[in-house]
Amino acid sequence: MGVLSTKHFIKLEGAPKEDIQHLIDTGLMFKEVLDRPIKKVPSLTGKNVVNLFFENSTRTRMSFELAEKRLSADVTNFSASSSSLNKGESFKDTIQNIHAMKMDCVVMRHPVPGSCLQLTKYVDAIVINAGDGKHEHPTQAMLDMMSLYEKFGYLKGLKVAIIGDISHSRVALSNIHGLITMGAEVTLCGPPHLIPIGIKELGVSVSHDVDEVVEWADVLNILRIQRERMGVGLIPSVREYRDFFGITQERLNRHKKEIVIMHPGPMNRGVEIDSSVADGDQAIILDQVLNGVAVRMSILYSLLGPEEEGKDEKK
Ligand code: CP
């Protein structure tokens, strides 16, 4: 088993192909552990991991906690909403107190882009990004790529469409970086004002015609439309969005083709995706969730495991 080229896991921008493939291969190996009657290995015995969540999460938070426990790490959970941050303590002081408790690894979700990189300057511990604002969500993209690799057996040449609000999506950005590095073809689809100007420089195509994209793609990765943004005029109405960009059963039926449906969750059923599509045979949405545990085991083990030597010299 190899090791990664970086000490921390902050972003997929610039991540080498070898690191990504190693994490997928190791994730598939760990997935086998999740099928055993006793779903636990001693790989991270004696390691302390803290999960710092400054934003809401269901999947990522539970998935990291399960992954850490399956690897026998000691786990501490920190929730900003019940912490002394509410008494005015600063982010830096909070982190330094946590650091004084001798943590080996910090998993953090934070609303500010770049906050995980900032954290690496405050602690010696390994930092894993569980989503930093609009920047990246690299472990989500890893589980997405692992799910595709498991399904197809390859990523190179796979046609992946990412549909929705690309501008505000850390999931989209991490997927773009990872998939392009692995040789996949990526098309972004959504309303023009929700696709960043200049994004084609990352090697993707852009379309505003969802039927054209469905006809082209092997895979649709459908993003959540952030209802909280509708009030500020980004989405005129739920109904209009569904008509133009929603992945409905009727739309899929029109194309009569095999296509894999993904969604990182949480879903707005009846907006970006119909229930019959989300629960249908083509969807691998719950496989993504299980693979999330396996690939996070892979990431934790690859960064913290006994075979990871010389990490202090890495960036
Ligand atoms: N996909 C994802 O990040 O979900 P959560 O916000 O529930 O963690």
Burial class (CB in 10 A: 0-12, 13-18, 19+), 170: buried
Cβ-contact 105, 47 below 8 angstroms: yes
CA of 285 to the centre of ligand 1 (A): 12
Question: Tokens in use for 90?
Answer: 């600063």
142-159 per-position pLDDT tens digit: 999 999 999 999 999 999
pLDDT digits (tens, 9 = 90+) for 27-39: 999 999 999 999 9
pLDDT of residue 237: 84
User: What's residue 201's pLDDT?
Assistant: 98
**Topology match between the domains 17-137+292-304 and 138-289:** yes
Using the mean position of ligand 1's atoms as its centre, give its distance from the Cα of residue 138 in Å: 12
| Boundaries of every domain in the chain | 17-137+292-304, 138-289
Which is the CATH superfamily of the domain at 17-137+292-304? Aspartate/ornithine carbamoyltransferase (3.40.50.1370)
Task: Write down how long the chain is.
Answer: 315
Ligand 1 midpoint to CA 265 (Å) = 6
Which CATH number among 3.40.50.1370, 3.40.309.10, 3.40.50.720, 3.30.1330.120 corresponds to the domain 138-289? 3.40.50.1370
Closest CA to ligand 1's atom 6: 57
**How do residues 61-83 score in pLDDT, each as one tens digit?**
999 999 999 999 999 999 888 88
Rg of the chain over Cα atoms, rounded to whole angstroms, equals 19
Q: Output the CA 122–ligand 1 centroid distance in Å.
A: 26
Strand ranges across the sheet with 105-110: 74-79, 48-53, 105-110, 126-132
Reference 175, options 221, 131, 206; nearest CA is: 221
pLDDT tens sequence across 282-313: 999 999 999 999 999 999 999 999 765 445 55
Q: Does the Cβ of 57 fall within 6 Å of ligand 1?
A: yes
Q: Shortest CA distance to 131 belongs to which of 182, 82, 59?
A: 59
Nearest to 14 by CA among 143, 178, 168, 135: 178
Token code pair at residue 265: 């969750």
> Which atom of ligand 1 is nearest the CA belonging to 264?
1
Residue with tokens 């990412």: 162
Q: 289 CA to middle of ligand 1, Å?
A: 10
Is the beta carbon of 59 within 6 A of some atom in ligand 1?
A: yes
Ligand 1 nearest atom to the CA of residue 61, by list position: 8
pLDDT number for residue 9: 98
Name the residue with the closest Cα to ligand 1, atom 4: 59
Write the residue with the smallest CA distance to atom 3 of ligand 1.
60
Per-residue pLDDT of 168-185, as tens digits, reads: 999 999 999 999 999 999
| Rounded distance from Cα 263 to ligand 1 centre (Å) | 10
Q: How far is the CA of 130 from the centre of ligand 1 (A)?
A: 9
Look at residue 80 in the predicted model and tell me its pLDDT: 86
What integer pLDDT is reported at residue 104 of this predicted model?
Answer: 96
The model's pTM is 0.94
Least confident of 4-18, 132-146, 234-248: 234-248
pLDDT at 2: 42
pLDDT tens by residue, 177-211: 999 999 999 999 999 999 999 999 999 999 999 99
**Ligand 1 close to Cβ of residue 140 (< 6 A):** yes
pLDDT band at 230 (very low <50, low <70, confident <90, very high): low
